[in-house]
Amino acid sequence: MIAMLTGGVIIGGHTLLTGCSPEKGELKNKVVFSQQDLDFLGEVSDTILPATQSPGAKAAGVGSFMAVMVNDCYEEKDQKVFMDGIGQLNAACNQMHGAEFMKATAQQRLSLLTALDKEAKAHQSKKGDVPAHYFTMMKQLTLLGYFTSEAGCTKAMRYMAVPGRYEGSVSYKKGDKAWA
């Protein structure tokens, strides 16, 4: 009886998992990120969240995380905005500082991303069905990728592997880390 039940579960397991297999044509919208793109996204993310007392976004592998999220979670139109944004960000750096983003100094990169953040906020405040600004996507993916990474959860925030008890109201002192 146990053998039958176990066999039934194994045979039935395949039937249950068929819902997880990709449908025909589902993978046609994959964006191909070159190593240069991944390095670029790593530098952008590290400018947004640089290393301090905790590792930066680049050390947490956020550039690769962005590529996975764009491929797996973004619709085709948003993928296009994101990919076009890589070139636009580089062109904006060239226009603002006369250098490509990868060759710009840390201060030049920071001033560019600060200006792009203001531009993105103005873009998003428009009424109607406007697509997301590419920098908004990059910034959101940086924050999501970093604070869900091991480095972000255990080094940037206070982390307790096995919590003792729930405390709904914890005093905050200026400079304290948030809880992971």
Quick one: pLDDT at residue 55? 93
Q: Is the dihedral of CA 97, 100, 106, 109 positive or negative?
A: positive
- The per-residue DSSP string of 93-162 comes to HHHHHSS-GGGS-HHHHHHHHHHHHHHHHHHHTSSSSPPPPHHHHHHHHHHHHHHTSHHIIIIISB--SS
Q: How confident is the model at residue 180 (pLDDT cuts 50, 70, 90)?
A: low
Secondary structure of residue 179 in the 3-state scheme: strand
Beta bridge partners of 26: none
pLDDT of residue 6: 38
- The whole-chain average pLDDT of the chain stands at 82
On the question of pLDDT at 126 being above 70, the answer is yes
